[in-house]
Chains A and B, each alone.
Chain A
Amino acid sequence: MTTHTGQMFDTEELVINMGPQHPSTHGVLRVVLRLDGEKVVSSDVVIGYLHRGIEKLSENRNWTQIILLTDRMDYVAAATNNVGYCQTVEKLMQIEVPRRARYIRTAICELQRIASHCLWLGTHAMDIGAMTVFLYAFRERELILDLFEEYCGARLTYNSMRIGGLPLDIPVGWDRKVLEFCTIMSEKVDEYEELLTHNRIWLERTRGIGVITAEQAIAIGLSGPPLRGSGVPRDIRKDEPYAAYDEMKFDVPVGTSGDTYDRYLVRLEEFRQSIRIIRQAIQGLPEGPIVGKVPRLIKPPAGETYHAIESPKGEIGYFIVSDGKSTNPYRFRVRPPSFCNLQALPQLIKGHLVADVVALIGSIDVVLGEVDR
């Protein structure tokens, strides 16, 4: 019967273009798909539509001005980018950051992780067709943005760190509000789970979709939740602790099968672990200064270093070279987690349906501002 239809109709591969203006590509991602019917035979990912030359720009700004450029990379997790950059410069200059600042940084990083995962959950679920989750997740994200607004005055691009510590101490009563938020959030995570985890449609759409094994995931350079979804317990917060993570108790959730569903479960569990870390950081907040001994003119000695931290998307690394003479870095390079994770997309979507492409773009959680820089 199949041969019969094959004789009657010509079959040919169809090339279609998805993006860059497509609501489910989370920005300006373009994917050129080669299709056999509804199945993806091969694909080509085209990026660069949002390239602003942040690396080149940074090499012509002074060390403090760069902090606000790092906000513009992963704009849904700006505080984590700030922390990564400031820590790299601190490493170059061998500045010790006071304990109180490290605790606040930890709390802010984890709040940011929850905000970023809320955005991911909302958009990912909406791509797959669950509109309600989007509204719920954004409701909670709003609470975090309010907390950030109270802390640093901005809601998206925070510029919330300084080399050697923090620009300002937390406002009076902020710690209590954060703890209240933790209580609210832990209930809401259960709510998300009720909506999705055992939902028949959700299971059909995510289970067994885009499976990647642990070996493949390491080889292609995945990091963050997509790597842990494949069962590799790699988390920079545990393996190479920074800020105050060495003093925090938390678990690193890992998946087993490496499909979209496991990546979802990993991120959902990360909500709970983040709440746990925030509680410890805020309740154990030590007294003391918030800025270390920083020279008035920041000019690291000549040398270079690579420093990575765990952003909500994966390993964000900074490779910075200082020539020791000028007030700007000689070379400023970011290892963007979204860029490296996106590289796995052609491998993940091969053989799946077009509708799954949308689910998989959401599943690896890319932010194009960071991919293109």
Chain B
Amino acid sequence: MKPAPPSGPTDPAPPAGMAVPAFVSAIEAAIPGSVTQVSYYVGDWAVIVPADKLLEVARFLRDSRETAFDFCSDVTASDWPPRPQRFDVVYCLYSTKHHHRIRLKVRAADGEAVPSVSGIWPAANWLEREVYDLFGVNITGHPDRRRILMPEDWQGFPQRKDYPLEGPGELLMENPLDWLRLKQAREESEIE
């Protein structure tokens, strides 16, 4: 029997007695209620932020002098299907001034709106398009939300955990429009 799929990342809290750096503690101090959880693992600081506070926190992190996260290294996501808010959208930030890094994380359900940060870091533009393309996270307010790696008429979102590794295969040839539904129906009929 296969073990049950994990229902979420560990996001461990920093060990007791560990000093939280100023660029992490400053967020909650400046915008109350913006930090759901702070986590620390193998030297990386990560902060979980509610989606409706994301833009505010992002703007603060970029503009405040002691944080100065002016470089958006990466935007990506991870998928945890058993969890109601299945997606973790992850923003890896870096400061070219202070040389420190932080990860922002936003949890989102399928279809739940995650505001685009491309207005704050233009670098996030293509990266968010990729998150939309491969995970189907509903990025809102994006200037140009199209698929980027997959063909424009592709069905489904390949990086989701419930998307088969082998891809659509011959089903794509039979019915390109809704092969995922077709595949599911076939599998169910096989079980019966």
Contacts and interface: CB of A to CB of B under 8 A. Distances in A.
Contacts of A330: 6, 78
B159 interface: yes
Interface in A128-144: none
Contact of B150 (A48, A234, A335, A340): A48
Contacts of B90: 319
Given A319-B74, A321-B9, A333-B74, A303 B41 contact: yes
Interface residues of A, number: 42
Interface stretch (B47-55, B119-127, B184-192): B119-127
Contacts, number: 104
Contacts of B134: 55
Interface residues of B, number: 42
Interface in A215-257: 218-221, 232, 234, 239-240
Contacts of A56: 158-159, 163, 165
Contacts of B165: 56-57, 60
Interface stretch (A21-29, A73-81, A115-123, A304-312): A304-312
A219 B70 contact: yes
Nearest to A330: B6
A323 interface: yes
B161 to A, nearest CB: 8
Contacts of A324: 10
Nearest to B160: A56
Interface string B51-77: 000000000000000000011111010
Nearest to A331: B78
A293 interface: no
Contact of B43 (A47, A91, A373): A91
Contacts of B158: 53, 56
17 contacts: A48-B148, A56-B159, A219-B121, A219-B122, A219-B123, A221-B121, A304-B10, A304-B44, A305-B41, A305-B43, A306-B73, A306-B74, A317-B74, A325-B3, A326-B3, A340-B123, A343-B126
Interface of A: 47-48, 51, 53, 55-57, 60, 91-92, 94, 218-221, 232, 234, 239-240, 302-306, 308, 315, 317, 319, 321, 323-326, 330-331, 333, 335, 339-340, 343, 372-373
